[in-house]
Amino acid sequence: MTAVREYLGRNMRQYGIMGALVAIVILFEFTTSGRLLMPDNLAALVQQNAYVMILAIGMVMVIVAGHIDLSVGSVVAFVGGVIGIAMGKWDMPWILAVILGVVVGALVGVWQGYWVAYVGIPAFIVTLAGMLIFRGLAIVLVGTTIAGLPTGFVAISNGYLPNLLGYTSNRDALTLVLGLLAIAGLVLSQVRARTTLKKHDLEVEPMVAFAGKLVLIALLLGATTWILSGATGMPIVLILVGVLILAYTFVLGRTVFGRHIYAIGGNLNAAILSGVNTRRVNFGIFVNIGALAGVAAIVTTSRAGAAVAAAGDGFELDAIAACFIGGTAVTGGVGKVSGAMIGALIMGVLNMGLSIMNVDPSWQKAIKGLVLLAAVAFDLINKRRAAGR
């Protein structure tokens, strides 16, 4: 038990943020008289906050490398305008418009990555300029709202997987099957990762902590799946977000590119001396977040059913807050996709819970700001205690 306590003490941030999410969900479930976790509300929670999760995935990589990106909200509006024009005025098939959106987002990342990586302008300045540039271009492109977008495109954020397996006890069977597969995949991947660490004589979690974490996550996934199965079905956008989470968790944890990102954020000089091509890595980071901003633009435009010049307002702040709440270090070098997703869910639950309670939007912003400040302060206090020990 001593080993377990020591391990939990060193990883208080990781387990504390998960506990905070559970506590916030329980609090709002009680204060909203059970309305927060109604099937339709849970599906809406995913659909309304998918853009935060997508942007937070890219933002984690940016912040871990020691940078920041203030332009993603404006890029979402700009790319959304391009997509809207492509479908509404050029009669482009929506699938091609989706591909165009990702490509345009990546090109924006190329533009900003060049200035950061090869010219050496700080990312704060480059993306601040990008925030103004692409917001202006969005207003120029989308003078008036472009509506009447194709049904297939609108279904990306608002649709559900077809009920192919029928119903079991009034529950969508396909949703239940997908949930069970997700739980099995998670357990298998965690066990394999632990086995690999032990094989190379690296530190692993005590078995009690490891098993407890798996049980808790499995219960949370199982409960979410069960509730969603009582709604219309599995939201299509949740599948998209799930694929991105798996892909980028692998990229950050299992690839050379991911290790180089952590190396740059942890100690830039040491990374350079170790032979890391910092310019190429930094360039790739911004191309990546540009492409993900394109995906977020697709999701946002689909959700609204129209291209709007004001789209994406404040999205960059939501993504940054999700990362910091989820344990990404302000100083760089530390952060995980899973933590950012928990941070995004905390922000989403706060939004939905406070909205159900009819709390004034001004107070909602103030509360979210206090949560962000508390999360970063908690992180810094823990680091100081660890350094003291």
Structure tokens at 146: 């472009």
**CATH (domain of 81):** 1.10.3470
Q: Give the pLDDT confidence score for residue 114 in this predicted structure.
A: 97
DSSP 8-state class, residue 288:
H
Cα separation, 262 vs 61, in Å, equals: 9
Q: Does residue 190 lie in a domain region? A: no
Q: Give the pLDDT confidence score for residue 364 in this predicted structure.
A: 82
Q: Does residue 259 lie in a domain region? A: yes
Q: Does residue 21 lie in a domain region? A: yes
Positive or negative CA dihedral for 122, 263, 273, 287?
negative
Q: Does residue 40 lie in a domain region? A: yes
Q: What confidence tier does 81 reach under pLDDT thresholds 50, 70, 90?
A: very high
Phi, psi (rounded to 5 degrees) for 94: -65, -30
Phi, psi (rounded to 5 degrees) for 133: -60, -50
- Collapsed DSSP state (helix, strand, coil) of residue 235: strand
Cα separation, 79 vs 17, in Å, equals: 33
pLDDT score of 82 more than 80 = yes
Range of the structural domain that residue 61 is part of: 2-159+235-388
Q: Does residue 132 lie in a domain region? A: yes
Cβ atoms of 208 and 4 closer than 8 Å: yes
Domain count along the chain: 1
172 contacts: CB under 8 Å, gap ≥ 6: 163, 165, 228, 229, 230, 231, 232, 233, 234
> How far apart, in Å, are the Cα atoms of 14 and each of 22, 75, 182, 385?
13, 31, 21, 15
Q: Which residue has the tokens 């479908």?
A: 87
Q: Give the pLDDT confidence score for residue 119 in this predicted structure.
A: 94
- Rg of the chain in Å (alpha carbons): 21
Q: Give the pLDDT confidence score for residue 334 in this predicted structure.
A: 86
Q: What confidence tier does 60 reach under pLDDT thresholds 50, 70, 90?
A: very high
Cβ atoms of 74 and 138 closer than 8 Å: yes
Cα separation, 140 vs 320, in Å, equals: 27
pLDDT score of 370 more than 90 = no
Q: Quote helix, strand, coil % in the chain, to nearest 5.
A: 75, 0, 20
Segment holding 159, helix H or strand E? none
Tens of pLDDT, residues 158-217:
999 888 778 777 788 888 899 999 889 888 888 888 888 788 777 777 787 778 878 888
Cα separation, 161 vs 356, in Å, equals: 27
Structure tokens at 229: 């199965």
DSSP 8-state class, residue 162:
-
Q: Does residue 371 lie in a domain region? A: yes
Q: What confidence tier does 233 reach under pLDDT thresholds 50, 70, 90?
A: confident
Q: Minimal CA–CA distance to 126: which of 112, 145, 139, 143?
A: 112
Cα separation, 55 vs 322, in Å, equals: 9
Q: What's the rounded mean pLDDT across residues 47-54? A: 93
Q: Does residue 311 lie in a domain region? A: yes
Structure tokens at 328: 């990404």
Q: What confidence tier does 358 reach under pLDDT thresholds 50, 70, 90?
A: confident
Pairing relationship of beta strands 171-172 and 167-168 according to DSSP bridges: antiparallel
Q: Does residue 377 lie in a domain region? A: yes
Q: Please give the span between the terminal C-alpha atoms of the chain, in angstroms, as a whole number.
A: 19
